[in-house]
Amino acid sequence: MLHSPIEPYDNGWLEVGHGHRLYYEQCGNPDGQVALYLHGGPGSGCSPRQRRFFDPQRHRVVLFDQRGCGRSTPAGDVANNHTDALVQDIEALRRHLGISRWLVFGGSWGATLAVLWATRHRDACTGVILRGLFLAGRADLEWFFHGVSALAPQANSALMQVIPARWRDRVETWLDRSFSGADPARIDRVVLAWRAYEHALGSWPGSAALAAPSDDEWPALRARYRVQSHYLARRCFLGEAKVLDAIARLHGLPVAIVHGSQDLVCRPQNAWRAHQTLRGSRLAWAQGAGHDPFHPASLQLLMTALAAHERDGHFNAWPAALP
């Protein structure tokens, strides 16, 4: 069960150069164990619900919207927006807030960023929690746009209907060009189709139905998928080999990995490869869960991992009992 809703006790904006300004917030206990939450996407942003992973009496949690995302400005801007800049932004925020060390918790694309930052700044990292890991390689993109059609044929077919047949073997390139173009009607068609596709792959029985976007939601959705297409078309400026190499270099840090056993967005194979690459990591499967971190099985594992780290400073006794 999630913790009770909490409001930030501090928020603000951090100038990080090239016109980018990041929104950040701090919640919980200012004297508690410090944790950083990294949202996914690329292109998504933080939400009030994500604060509720953390015990407000025991954690001081920092959340921020990455470049071009959420409340950060300029919204949807892809200039000077790349993975290395995001890793530098995380470190700039830590220093700006005067935090010596923190736990880093990332989901999906946020898990990728968590790995990269922790690899470069081990001395400032007390531990890492990775949920629904994305390896940012060709195989991940092939799965997301093509391979998953074996398990979700209707959802995949609906997405492909908006993509010209000659571009279907280069989906990421076509999406990036669409958002870089000047055809607002095409952009909005893509936004609706991509949003529905992600929901279809990530939803589970009991999750909320997808409602039509309100007028207020449209600008944020256009920005979100513009940033996401920018990153995916460039394999997130990484590739799988670089991510796995970074994971291997986390050896010696406390690392917990949670992955849905039925994740259609980021393959369960990713978590297994990460666990095999990183000696000493702890892996727990959220049985029956997909990519949604709020599925009961995923939620239980994530919150018990946070509690274990807060209590012990590591994950050696986590999970207490595997299903």
At 135-185, the pLDDT tens digits run 999 999 999 999 999 999 999 999 999 999 999 999 999 999 999 988 999
Q: Is 211 exposed, middle or buried (0-12, 13-18, 19+ CB in 10 A)?
A: exposed
To the query of whether residue 291 is one of the catalytic residues in this protein, the response is yes
First-to-final CA distance of the chain: 17
One of 108, 178, 203, 229 is an active-site residue; which one?
108
Give residue limits of the domains in the chain.
10-136+237-312, 139-236
One of 59, 291, 295, 309 is an active-site residue; which one?
291
Distances in Å between the alpha carbon of 266 and those of 34, 126, 148, 269? 28, 26, 10, 8
Would you place residue 34 in the very low, low, confident or very high pLDDT band (cuts 50, 70, 90)?
Answer: very high
To the query of whether residue 207 is one of the catalytic residues in this protein, the response is no
Distances in Å between the alpha carbon of 104 and those of 232, 280, 309? 23, 17, 11
Q: Which residues contact 132 (CB under 8 A, 6 or more apart)?
A: 40, 107, 108, 111, 258, 259, 260, 263, 265, 266, 291, 293, 298
Residue 323 confidence (pLDDT): 43
The answer to whether residues 106 and 41 touch, using CB atoms and an 8 Å cutoff, is: no
To the query of whether residue 263 is one of the catalytic residues in this protein, the response is yes
pTM: 0.96
Token pair in block for residue 20: 């980018």
CATH class of 10-136+237-312: alpha beta
263-302 tens-digit pLDDT? 999 999 999 999 999 999 999 999 999 999 999 999 999 9
Residue 322 confidence (pLDDT): 46
Residue 206 confidence (pLDDT): 78
Task: Classify the C-alpha dihedral 27-85-188-38 as positive or negative.
Answer: negative
Residue 94 has pLDDT above 50, yes or no: yes
The answer to whether residues 226 and 172 touch, using CB atoms and an 8 Å cutoff, is: no
179-213 tens-digit pLDDT? 998 899 999 999 999 999 999 999 888 788 899 99
One of 77, 89, 263, 292 is an active-site residue; which one?
263
Q: Is 18 exposed, middle or buried (0-12, 13-18, 19+ CB in 10 A)?
A: exposed
